[in-house]
Every structure is written in structure tokens, then in C-alpha cells.
């Protein structure tokens, strides 16, 4: 995923921002999860060329009820993309989140990376401890690629709905992941598909 070049350099951490380590990551089985997939009628290499050139602001755009990305600020040297690299993401509602690459693999047949999201500045995210997400692009034949985006939220167990345990996860999934978040993810994957198939 491309950075936004010079534009990203105009974004600086807000006053009072503290760059903290991400929370300990637990098993996805204990989280509320959403998975979206799309088939792209192009070879993996062509899809990845499109992905590499695609800025985050194009991938994650605002939907009804959720903000989009408007910029980034690298928090680690060397840019964002390798395990351990971290950046601050600026959203269209004036809030921020922190993301860090956790795992990364790129071969002739597969490209995947997972990342943890935390430090949400919006009050609406107070019940969320962190999220774990993954992009996966896999060759599905010589001229076809299957793109998959998964997103899993870990709730704070001392706040509603997290204090309800598994029921809290189901409530979050019904209220957010199966609605507005699904549309945000579907829109992002469709933009990847459109960019790759137009290349």
C-alpha cells in the first residue's frame, strides 16, 4: 500500500499524543470478526502493482456512519510496511488511530500482512481495546486473484458491551461489523478490484 507522499507529511501528531506500544494481542477466536472477499480478474503480480500504488486515502473512504482516511504520519523510521513499523492515521471526523504491522509475507503466489489497530481517539471507540486486521491477496489461477480483508475487534471487558463476554461480541458484530464496517470493507476491496482491472 502506497503512502500518500508529500500530503502525509502535512499531518503531525495532535497535541498530547503519546506513542505507546500496542496492547498484547489475544486469539482472534475471542473477538468479533468480519471477513470480506473479492475476486479480481487479473494475475496476482498485476494486482499487487495496483495495490502498491494505491494510497490509503483511496482504499479507506468514508461511508454512512464511519470516517475515511485523510492522511498518515510515520511513527517509525523507514516508512510503514514491514513488521514493527507503525503510523498514525488521521480520519475524516478529526480523530486518529495507531496502526502497526504485525506479520508480513510476500511470495510469487501470496501477499499478506496483518496489523494491529489501537489508540482510538474517538469517544465512540471507548469499548474497543484494539483490533487485528489482515489483507491477503492469493493467486487463484494464472489470471485471477482472490483478495481477502478480515477485521477483528477485541472489546474492553470492563465496559459495555465487552463485559457481556461472547454476547458483547455478537452485539458489536450485529451493530457495527455486519453494517457500516462491512460497507467500508466492501468499498475498499471494490476500489482495489477496479484499480487492478483497469490497469
Residues 114-121, mean pLDDT to the nearest whole number: 97
Domain-embedded: residue 179: yes
**If pLDDT is split at 50, 70 and 90, which confidence band does 58 have?**
very high
**CATH number of the domain that residue 124 is part of:** 3.30.530.20
Domain-embedded: residue 136: yes
Is the pLDDT score of 151 beyond 70?
yes
**Domain interval for residue 61:** 32-198
**If pLDDT is split at 50, 70 and 90, which confidence band does 199 have?**
confident
Domains identified in the chain, total number = 1
What's the grid cell of residue 133? Answer: 486486521
Is the pLDDT score of 7 beyond 50?
no
Is the pLDDT score of 6 beyond 70?
no
Helices and strands in the chain: count of H runs, count of E runs: 4, 7
Backbone angles phi, psi at 141, to 5 degrees: 110, 175
Domain-embedded: residue 2: no
Amino acid at each position: 500500500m502506497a503512502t500518500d507522499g508529500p500530503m502525509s507529511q502535512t499531518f503531525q501528531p495532535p497535541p498530547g499524543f503519546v506513542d505507546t506500544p500496542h496492547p498484547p494481542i489475544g486469539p482472534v477466536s475471542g473477538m468479533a470478526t468480519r471477513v470480506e472477499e473479492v475476486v479480481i480478474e487479473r494475475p496476482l503480480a498485476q494486482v499487487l502493482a495496483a495495490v502498491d500504488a494505491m494510497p490509503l486515502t483511496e482504499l479507506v473512504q468514508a461511508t454512512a456512519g464511519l470516517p475515511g482516511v485523510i492522511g498518515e504520519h510515520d511513527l517509525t523510521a523507514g516508512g510503514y510496511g514491514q513488521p514493527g513499523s507503525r503510523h498514525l492515521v488521521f480520519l475524516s471526523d478529526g480523530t486518529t488511530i495507531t496502526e502497526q504491522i504485525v506479520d508480513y509475507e510476500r511470495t510469487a503466489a501470496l501477499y499478506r500482512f496483518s496489523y494491529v489497530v489501537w489508540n482510538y481517539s474517538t469517544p465512540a471507540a471507548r469499548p474497543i481495546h484494539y483490533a487485528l486486521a489482515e489483507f491477503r491477496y492469493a493467486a487463484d489461477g494464472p489470471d485471477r486473484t482472490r483478495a481477502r480483508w478480515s477485521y477483528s475487534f477485541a472489546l474492553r471487558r470492563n465496559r459495555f458491551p465487552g463485559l457481556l463476554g461472547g454476547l458483547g461480541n455478537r452485539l458489536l458484530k450485529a451493530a457495527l461489523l455486519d453494517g457500516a464496517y462491512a460497507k467500508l470493507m466492501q468499498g475498499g476491496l471494490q476500489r482495489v478490484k477496479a484499480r487492478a482491472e483497469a490497469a
